Amino acid sequence: MYVHVLLPLKLRWIPTYSTDLPLLRGEAVKVMFSGRKYTGIVWEEDAPAPEGVKRVLKVLDRDEAVPALDAKEMELWTFVSEYYLCTLGEVFSMALPGMRLLSEQNASAAIERLRTRLAGIEEQLSGRHCERVRLRLEAKRKEVLAKIAELSPAPAEPAVSACTAPAAAESRPQLLTGTVRLPFYIDAMRREIQAGRQVLLLTPEVAFCNRLEKTLSDEFGPQLAIVHSGRSASARQRTSVRLRGGQAIIVLGTRSSIFLPFSNLGLVIIDEEQDPFYKQSEPAPRYNGRDSAIYLAALHSARVLLGTACPSLETLLNLHSGKYLPAGIAENSAGEPTAVIDIAAERRKNGMKGPLSRKLIEAILRTGSPALLIRGWEKQEELAECIGANLPDSEVKICTMAELKRNGSGGAALIAVLQADALMSKDDFRSDERALQLTAMLKGFAPRVIIQTEVPQRFSTSLDGLLAERKQFGFPPYTRIIDIRRYGSGAIVERLFLKRDQTLASRKAAIFASLPDDCYADVDPQ
């Protein structure tokens, strides 16, 4: 028997191996490739029999923490590979990080070795040592115990009444707008958990996960699992075991969470759906977590809820065309309309006090409450000096946009962006869209928002106006962009425009064939 075995390598072909064992699609095996051992996935069985192929070394089982993939997981991998023009091996590396480690050294064997080491430390502690040596041994002991706890399987939880039938809900994704969306999410998640189904709540960044974790932990307790780059591989593995077992849990995570082995998925919530951080830039696969999560939900017949204060133009077009449905408007934070200050004009009429405009200073003085200034290019020390000179008696704090997302506003009554143009990342056809989304997001942090910018027209247009502009000039969402970029520099070598209804799967082979070795394809770049 011959099988195609997918490896976690950037190969545009899938190696073939021989075996005497009856292998099935999705099973994990150990093979040799280019002189090294790899854990691979049986991608196709009964493959054509070429001459001189190597044999499968070993079939891995569940005791080695490498359970077989199911058909839905393999279909999701195929979608990501075909749509985002990358190899299946690159998707493999993203979907199952550290799989080689888990298979080379299974958890039970690792625990035994750690226990042996712990016994040696305990023996040393029983002897007579000076305080400094004893403290060092105690630290080692704690370290080993922590590793044992990390590798040990999670204790079994009380069984939840299972309902394996698909969620009875509208099949089309639904859009929830507004700044106060969390109560709506909690209500929707509670209904799914009570019905015995799994939930995926996606956020664009780890900072958003951290902000939601406390509230959701208080609400759902052990039924909440956190998955992102800040969590250990063993924690992700334990979550995978719970999902494969059909437990009704809520996964709060970033984009890579879509590759978890959901077996009873009833609801996918994509918060801040407009955020560009859903698109991965490095390494491959350069996929969009939002769009891939919608595909994942379709595989499971799960409900999709998109949440945002200001939708992306792609989502807005889907809403206008009837592909998406409105889910309603969540409560919006009360407050004044966003004020936009043209700092180029203020400079011309001597209306600037360093990085602060006179209008902003007056607004902070009138507010008489805590204010938060978001800096871009400004240096912390110079800005603090300027605040001390112009607002000596006001409670004013300084932070970056990343710090705001991570820590919140701290109850500030006013948030001001000192140089909004610095937050646009780059000046392109998406700049106006990003500007509107920035102001909408900030309204969720404080009742009053002030924007200082040299391009005020960016903040005065409407989403519908931007859609009409994009349609006129043939830009996304009315077309699809593929950038051919050079490795290392990321410089664009060629830009391809495809009609929206053109499938990328049919073009993949042709694009790959013409792709230089030092270049890669970036689909739907942000």
Per-residue model confidence (pLDDT) at position 505: 67
Do 368 and 422 fall within a single domain?
A: yes
165 lies in a domain? no
Residue 105: both structure tokens together: 């050294």
137 lies in a domain? yes
Q: How many domains does the chain have?
A: 5
160 lies in a domain? no
Do 253 and 349 fall within a single domain?
A: no
Alpha helices in 152-288 (DSSP H): 182-194, 206-220, 233-244
Do 70 and 141 fall within a single domain?
A: no
179 lies in a domain? yes
Q: What is the CATH number of the domain that holds 269?
A: 3.40.50.300
Q: How far apart are CA 392 and CA 371, in angstroms?
A: 13
Do 197 and 139 fall within a single domain?
A: no
Residue 185: both structure tokens together: 């999410």
Phi then psi dihedrals of residue 65, to 5 deg: 60, 30
Residue that terminates a domain, selected from 298, 329, 360: 329
Give the rounded distance of the alpha carbon of 49 from its chain centre: 40
Do 504 and 394 fall within a single domain?
A: no
Q: What is the CATH number of the domain that holds 86?
A: 3.40.1440.60
Buried b or exposed e, range 187-197, using 16+ CB within 10 angstroms: ebbebbbebbb
Residue that terminates a domain, selected from 329, 362, 394: 329
Q: How far apart are CA 321 and CA 324, in angstroms?
A: 8
Give the range of the structural domain holding residue 493, as residue numbers without chain letter: 478-523
Do 317 and 268 fall within a single domain?
A: yes
The label of the residue with tokens 């950037």 reads 10
DSSP per-residue codes, 418-433: S-GGGGS-S-STTHHH
Phi then psi dihedrals of residue 252, to 5 deg: -100, 115
254 lies in a domain? yes
Do 93 and 113 fall within a single domain?
A: no
Do 322 and 189 fall within a single domain?
A: yes
Do 315 and 422 fall within a single domain?
A: no
- β-strand pairing of 479-486 with 492-499: antiparallel
Per-residue model confidence (pLDDT) at position 425: 66
Do 353 and 490 fall within a single domain?
A: no
287 lies in a domain? yes
Per-residue pLDDT of the chain (526 residues; tens, 9 = 90+): 789 999 999 998 899 998 888 788 898 888 999 888 888 999 988 777 677 788 887 777 644 445 678 899 999 999 999 899 899 999 999 998 765 434 334 556 667 777 888 888 887 877 777 777 778 878 888 877 877 765 565 544 443 333 333 344 468 999 999 888 999 999 999 999 999 999 999 999 999 999 999 999 999 999 999 999 888 887 888 898 889 889 999 999 999 999 999 999 999 999 999 999 999 988 889 999 999 999 999 999 999 999 999 999 999 999 999 999 999 887 766 667 889 999 999 999 999 999 999 999 999 999 887 999 999 888 888 899 999 999 999 999 999 988 998 888 888 999 999 999 888 767 788 889 999 999 988 988 988 999 999 999 988 889 999 999 999 998 999 998 999 999 988 899 999 888 876 666 667 777 877 888 889 999 988 7
157 lies in a domain? no
Per-residue model confidence (pLDDT) at position 106: 52
Residue that terminates a domain, selected from 301, 329, 357: 329
Do 298 and 428 fall within a single domain?
A: no
169 lies in a domain? no
Do 356 and 455 fall within a single domain?
A: yes
